Amino acid sequence: LYVYPYTKKPWKEFSNHHIGIPIASLISLYIFAKMLEGVIYQGSILKVDAWVNAITFTPGITQIASFITNFGGGVLVSILFIVTIGALSLRKRWRYALLSIAAILGALVLPAGIKALVRRARPENLIETSFSFPSGHAILAIVFVSLLIYSFKDDFKNKIARYVLIIISLSFFIAVGISRIILHVHWFSDVIAGMSLGLFWFMFVVLVERFIPGVGPAIN
């Protein structure tokens, strides 16, 4: 699916504009696979999880972490997602709207399926008791943030405004991931796996949308 549309195009054009996405996608998938391997086969990442869990016992900032994790949860992100789809539809950006729907649906389904298969217990906490690996909040946050940057970055003609959008977006999903660790509802590896899987899924959807011949023009 990725190589076929470019088999008759110059390699220079291919390498300059398109090779970065699949490389980053493969790196993200590799990181997720290593986290999964470590959890299933009880590798050294479990010691890292235990150490991070022990040093993040900070009762003074749990309220802030709770606010961030609730803001990055399904309900509020769903509201923001609906607003985003509405904005894209009003501007008749159907391609981005369809891509966003596919990406978010996958971000909701993927963690549920993997959690049911891995069945990893969460750290001891009084908030959540379902399975832990990977972090659904981390997946949803990074997919949503990536969609915002991908869909609206060209609307910001000023470079400073564009960089501000990117910095705020990156800070959001990083803060969500850290909040899950502080609240002891996820292990460190859960969050890293969620972020890497979410980034892989987003870029996979982008690759399919951009590089299957005829799909872009048909729905643009």
Mean pLDDT score across all residues of the chain: 79
> Looking at residue 76, what is its pLDDT?
72
Q: Dihedral (C-alpha) 111, 29, 206, 7: value to the nearest 10 degrees?
A: -150
Q: Dihedral (C-alpha) 111, 129, 51, 188: value to the nearest 10 degrees?
A: 20
Q: Dihedral (C-alpha) 80, 85, 89, 92: value to the nearest 10 degrees?
A: 110
> Looking at residue 211, what is its pLDDT?
66
Q: Quick one: pLDDT band at residue 212, thresholds 50, 70, 90?
A: low
> Can you state the percent helix, strand and coil of the chain, rounding each to 5?
75, 0, 25
Q: Quick one: pLDDT band at residue 126, thresholds 50, 70, 90?
A: low
**DSSP-derived secondary structure for 157-210:** -SHHHHHHHHHHHHHHHHHHHHHHHHTTSS-HHHHHHHHHHHHHHHHHHHHHHH
**Residue 34 to residue 194: CA distance in whole angstroms:** 12
Model's pTM, two decimal places?
0.80
- Residue range 45-88, pLDDT digits in tens: 999 999 998 887 666 677 777 777 776 666 677 787 788 888 88
- Residue range 159-209, pLDDT digits in tens: 787 788 778 888 888 888 888 888 888 899 999 999 999 999 988 888 777
Q: Burial, 194: exposed, middle or buried (Cβ in 10 Å; 0-12, 13-18, 19+)? A: buried
- Residue range 132-157, pLDDT digits in tens: 899 988 898 888 888 888 877 777 77
Both tokens of 150, joined, read 């991908």
6 has pLDDT over 60: no
